[in-house]
Structure 1
């Protein structure tokens, strides 16, 4: 009889009845998403706590962060005197320059150069800062503080030291130097010399505000000028306002709006001074070159004048020209003028060639206003001077090995060769013209051969005199032009928008963005923590997770028990856990609907490991069946580690006579070891008995089958608390006696990896009619809503 107990014929139908694995893909996806949302919503307090903490941190960060204000200035840089299209446009086809943007970028680097920013630091004394304690943060006093420090030592000492002074204002006439903890070091009077590690200093008061600062500490911070320069070089941003334009935007962020404004405006002024100084240098070099040439030409002209005067005086000649030679002389005079003009050009060309070819003038400026008719030479001279000037500017902040300087040197050498070639070509052209005119001059001279020889000699002298005079007058004119240019030199920078305190805008901290990021972080961090905890969790955490990891029918869930009572169900109980056991009873009846037995239905309750709650489930299930009017007996077959005595009070506790005593004692009958309760809705008890040394061998005895045969005849339900299946073989030895097997899995306790054990038992049909039950579920949505459940 017991070896062929009837089993449910259609396990697949039961699986579809109790499991959700038969749902459509769309339904399962929607269900999964809904469950995930609910999973996170149940932990809303973590998100609230994270948002509150992060927003609080953001509030403290904003409150204790020094505000930074951005101030900007817009200037237009003219490219007329820069390295750009006017000077080097001829070289664009050679690929030397990409576009005029290079010229502007060079100027941007000059604006941020150490030399100019160092001048700004010196002008505004930026290496000395004054701070006073505000309500929350230290506040920098600018442009005037309550006190001012003056240095009597050399700049080389002061500008290269770090030093802090804490000045406690005692009165309008005295102060004390204190340490960082406020302890007085010594007391001094304002205006008196103080000897310090950076030399002698004098601290003077600001009479307008000193009275209001009595009792306050003024902190003076002195930094090396080089460090201050580098700090502002990093903070100052210089860039082209729009691509392809010459408008430059200079901006600076600082905690003091007025300070940032003064720095930018002073920076533009220093840049203007720098560019004007460079232009004046060009004019000065041109004037020096012209003056040197004037000295030489003046001497030559004096010699020719003296020669002409001596010749006329010696022979008593006058300026009258005889009538017969008037016409020829007129034509010859025009030729002489042209020859004189060409000789003047040749002289200038030769002077220019010698200057360019000289090694000492290799990187010197070439006079740019000598008035050559050849526009190519004029343009190349301008390009040459622009490159030379740029080279000198770059060498102030770099060395000759700088790739940019090397590139400029190559361009200068190239221009020098171009100029030499152009001058040689022009010289050859003029010589051809001069040769033609000289041929004509010899012809007309032959015509005048009959004139008095002295008149002819005088004409030669006058011709040379005319050449020298024209060259002298020409140089005088150019010197005057250079002088005028040097006194009306203008900067190539035009300020469009000056830096202003009114235009300053707060850039840090950005309150809206900070709060938004903090809020998002406060919501994201708990989400990530919960997600990672779920990802790394190896425990069964929900009914859905259990269904996903096993194909057994789902019999139900039992919520976690929060009170100390072991038997949690009674006839009048309406708690959530009581309703859960009633649902379990209903599902159990439904699952056993195919069983032909009317009485003696054997229900095994087992689990994988100890502690998953099979004893709690089995005894409360027995109580639930007893409440329904059925005759029920609880049987303990966990002979190794019985725990039923912790749930129900037994006569002798753990040593109460039970199943093992019945098996080992031939004289005992089933009636001798069955206990009857005297409570409301009682169920009988067959406890496990004394712990034997050989539990497995006892369960293989024939008396086990005899006992179950007796129980099936006398009870409607036999609820059996068995041993864990993964630890011992006890349950499998008597599995054939069961009509249904309830497999208990405990939420947040059972390892997901050991679910392979019940799944293998189910697939291999090692236990009859298996159905899984989730114990200690924390999902409150199942039993605590509607119709008064959970009250």
Structure 2
């Protein structure tokens, strides 16, 4: 095998051959116009079928306004808001959105609307869901806890107004039943009843009843439900849902809003009830203490015969002392409320219980902190209905509650300390005025002391009575968090899927794109020579012409005196072009034409045999010589006396007793060619071609024939052709369309530049006629078969 290397890559003749040819690129795609038509028609048909057999989806939406009445007050704890420890309005809205989408609320919606049971009837194309009513209705006798976890499909055939049957998917009757009678099934006993009086008009109709597990339906609608704020920082929330049944989508949205309002109202009622219960417990304790004080006063007055009159000499001091006592009572009341609240906050048993919100404190920051604390407790309780304590939102709320609890304790301790200072000062004054009253009757002093305690008890008792009444009123006038702005309605629903316009546009786009990509990728990854233009772009060698692809394989010699096929005409044109190329060769003897190629299979023997025949038809005496000693194919194209084993060129070279005339065979034809086959395959072809008898053969043939057409060995595989190339007057280099690799064109280009093959010219074999290689007027398909 001979390796041929070139010192430089293949270049081109001018810039126009290497530049981007827009016209050529466009024509490349226009030649395949029918691909685009077929592809677009196919995609449009698929789009039509997709639209026809896709269940349409409608978007139903409603909007609500979520109240944000609770906020962080301007207290010493407001700094926690900036640190992210306290809830803000946006977080609250996000929390409410999560509550709306919670599994608990949607489960309530599914159970309320009975969405786990669906009724379908077969339409002309699609199955249509019957909502809210179907021709028949199924009722379950088993417990909901059993039915809600089952999955089942019943196909019910209506036979009459009293009878029905269960059928399979092919319509075959499985069992007969009567409307209103109990039927035992795999999901328990059921009763199927007609929903319309005159059901006989629907005789023969099949109703599919689909029962699904409740939780799977809940998850389905949780995924389909979209809940979002209308704008950034807005309290208006939009609930939207895509569903093939507009009425069902409307009912789901509206029922979900109702369930959310019920949940918020119930939660607020529970808070009010807990506050009222706490106050009632305190009232019972204080009522008992007040009764004991009243009994003690009555006992002292009865025992010692005292009245309520105060002696005149102590009136003035008593008045001052009384005012001090009142202030002491008020402060002591505050201390008790603070201490009671502090013990409640520090209690681990009620760590996440609501604080009484109606006790009232002189310090407004404590009141605001208690309100904020209760708000977080309520949010936490709502979230735990649909999630666990490990939920990041719950963990965040727990952290905020702990921060508020610490801040509240600090505020309570600070308030208590401040009140204690004031209280100690007042008690000191009280001792002073008590000393002034030392001379008063001892019993009067006892009554005064008891009166102080009695005043405290009464004041606290009346205060708690007032707050309990407020709590009771609140529990009966509780408002929901959400105010409906727009209810979901059928009129406001939008057809969202399938989008016909976009689907047809996409079909048109992909219908054009697919053949474009196929052609582009095919061309991108195609390393084969696909047209004459490829040769013109990549080579500087003259192009002799192109031979169309041979359609019929019955006869390899297609050129004859009467043939008018496109291939035969192509060889006649080739013969004419040869005359032009060889016009400058001044030679008295016959002209030698070498036919070679890069590799085997590119059509050397086909081209050379038909070229020889075309020259013979023109009246020339032609010798057809085979010098491909390694893989001769003469016997496949021409009739030889002994086929492949016919004596030829190699026999002449190796045996000096054989004369040249012994290896020349004349065709029995009107325009015969004289054939010198390759002969027996030798073990050393290259050495044989260096033999002197090779020159004797060529000299003889040149003297006796007008043309010598030499079928040579491929130049990239062996050196045989180059050893005898000096005998050639013209070298025809064959490349085959869609067979020869573009990357090997550097070999003939190298030969041409280095002049290793005399007078080279390229010939494209098996060219496609659809690429523009037509030959003459009137050569149709009929003649192509000649």
| TM-score of the superposed pair, with normalisation by structure 2 | 0.87
Q: What is the count of residue pairs matched by the alignment?
A: 766
Cα distance between partner residues in 2 of 1:427 and 1:649: 127
Given the alignment of the two structures, is residue 746 of structure 1 paired with residue 736 of structure 2, yes or no?
A: yes
Counterpart pick for 2:412 among 423, 426, 431: 423
Cα distance between partner residues in 1 of 2:526 and 2:17: 26
Cα distance between partner residues in 1 of 2:79 and 2:664: 118
Residues 426-505 of structure 1: pairs in structure 2 closer than 5 A: 426-505=415-494
Residues 479-628 of structure 1: pairs in structure 2 closer than 5 A: 479-547=468-536, 552-562=541-551, 577=567, 580-581=570-571, 584-585=574-575, 587-592=577-582, 595-597=585-587, 600-622=590-612
Could you report, residue by residue, the CA deviation over 1:657-709 in whole angstroms, capped at 9, with x for unpaired residues? 98778876869676995859875xx5x62212583454947755655534544
- How far is 1:42 from its partner? 2.2
Q: Give yes or no for contact 1:576–1:789 (8 Å, CA) kept in 2.
A: no
Q: Give yes or no for contact 2:73–2:368 (8 Å, CA) kept in 1.
A: no
Q: Which residue of 2 aligns with 1:376?
A: 365
Cα distance between partner residues in 2 of 1:165 and 1:671: 94
Given the alignment of the two structures, is residue 691 of structure 1 paired with residue 679 of structure 2, yes or no?
A: yes
Given the alignment of the two structures, is residue 125 of structure 1 paired with residue 114 of structure 2, yes or no?
A: yes
Residues 685-764 of structure 1: pairs in structure 2 closer than 5 A: 685-689=673-677, 691-692=679-680, 694=682, 696=685, 702=692, 704-713=694-703, 717-725=707-715, 730-752=720-742, 755=745, 758-759=748-749, 761-762=751-752
Mark the runs of 5 or more structure 1 residues left unpaired by the alignment.
1-18
Cα distance between partner residues in 2 of 1:107 and 1:211: 50
Q: Give yes or no for contact 1:574–1:790 (8 Å, CA) kept in 2.
A: yes
Could you report, residue by residue, the CA deviation over 1:727-784 in whole angstroms, capped at 9, with x for unpaired residues? 6655344321111100111112334565565455445544222222111111535444
- How far is 1:107 from its partner? 1.6
Q: Which range moved further: 123-132 or 331-340?
A: 331-340
Mark the runs of 5 or more structure 2 residues left unpaired by the alignment.
1-9, 781-786
- How far is 1:528 from its partner? 3.6
Q: Which residue of 2 aligns with 1:54?
A: 43
- How far is 1:474 from its partner? 0.9
Q: Give yes or no for contact 1:660–1:688 (8 Å, CA) kept in 2.
A: no
- How far is 1:128 from its partner? 1.0
Q: Which range moved further: 305-314 or 252-261?
A: 305-314
- How far is 1:483 from its partner? 0.8
Q: Which residue of 1 aligns with 2:13?
A: 22
**RMSD between superposed Cα atoms in Å:** 3.6
Residues 400-415 of structure 1: pairs in structure 2 closer than 5 A: 400-415=389-404
Cα distance between partner residues in 1 of 2:230 and 2:392: 27
Q: Which residue of 2 aligns with 1:352?
A: 341
Cα distance between partner residues in 1 of 2:48 and 2:77: 57
Q: Which residue of 1 aligns with 2:375?
A: 386
Q: Which range moved further: 577-586 or 213-222?
A: 577-586
Given the alignment of the two structures, is residue 284 of structure 1 paired with residue 270 of structure 2, yes or no?
A: no
Q: Give yes or no for contact 1:237–1:251 (8 Å, CA) kept in 2.
A: yes
- Change over 3 Å in CA distance of 1:393–1:575 after alignment to 2: same
Q: Give yes or no for contact 1:87–1:383 (8 Å, CA) kept in 2.
A: no
Could you report, residue by residue, the CA deviation over 1:33-91 in whole angstroms, capped at 9, with x for unpaired residues? 54343333322333333333333223222222222222222222222359999998542
- Change over 3 Å in CA distance of 1:407–1:209 after alignment to 2: farther
Q: Which range moved further: 395-404 or 421-430?
A: 395-404
Cα distance between partner residues in 1 of 2:73 and 2:492: 33
Could you report, residue by residue, the CA deviation over 1:533-559 in whole angstroms, capped at 9, with x for unpaired residues? 445545432234345665543333222
Q: Give yes or no for contact 1:78–1:246 (8 Å, CA) kept in 2.
A: yes
Q: Give yes or no for contact 1:746–1:776 (8 Å, CA) kept in 2.
A: yes
- How far is 1:473 from its partner? 1.1
Cα distance between partner residues in 2 of 1:316 and 1:98: 63
Cα distance between partner residues in 1 of 2:632 and 2:322: 144
Q: Give yes or no for contact 1:146–1:206 (8 Å, CA) kept in 2.
A: yes
Cα distance between partner residues in 2 of 1:81 and 1:122: 33
Cα distance between partner residues in 2 of 1:418 and 1:650: 115
Q: Which residue of 2 aligns with 1:3?
A: none
Q: Give yes or no for contact 1:655–1:690 (8 Å, CA) kept in 2.
A: no
Q: Which range moved further: 640-649 or 548-557?
A: 640-649
Given the alignment of the two structures, is residue 223 of structure 1 paired with residue 223 of structure 2, yes or no?
A: no
SS in structure 2 of the partner of residue 135 of structure 1:
coil
Cα distance between partner residues in 1 of 2:642 and 2:407: 121
Q: Which residue of 1 aligns with 2:294?
A: 305
Could you report, residue by residue, the CA deviation over 1:186-209 in whole angstroms, capped at 9, with x for unpaired residues? 222211112222222111111156
Counterpart pick for 1:110 among 93, 99, 102: 99
Q: Which residue of 1 aligns with 2:768?
A: 778
SS in structure 2 of the partner of residue 687 of structure 1:
strand
- How far is 1:573 from its partner? 8.1
Cα distance between partner residues in 1 of 2:216 and 2:635: 82
Could you report, residue by residue, the CA deviation over 1:574-593 in whole angstroms, capped at 9, with x for unpaired residues? 87556644654455455446
Cα distance between partner residues in 2 of 1:639 and 1:431: 124
- How far is 1:286 from its partner? 0.6
Cα distance between partner residues in 1 of 2:466 and 2:667: 138
- Change over 3 Å in CA distance of 1:122–1:661 after alignment to 2: closer
Cα distance between partner residues in 1 of 2:75 and 2:732: 96
Could you report, residue by residue, the CA deviation over 1:365-420 in whole angstroms, capped at 9, with x for unpaired residues? 11112121211101111122122222322333344444544443343333223222
Q: Give yes or no for contact 1:658–1:674 (8 Å, CA) kept in 2.
A: no
- Change over 3 Å in CA distance of 1:718–1:284 after alignment to 2: same
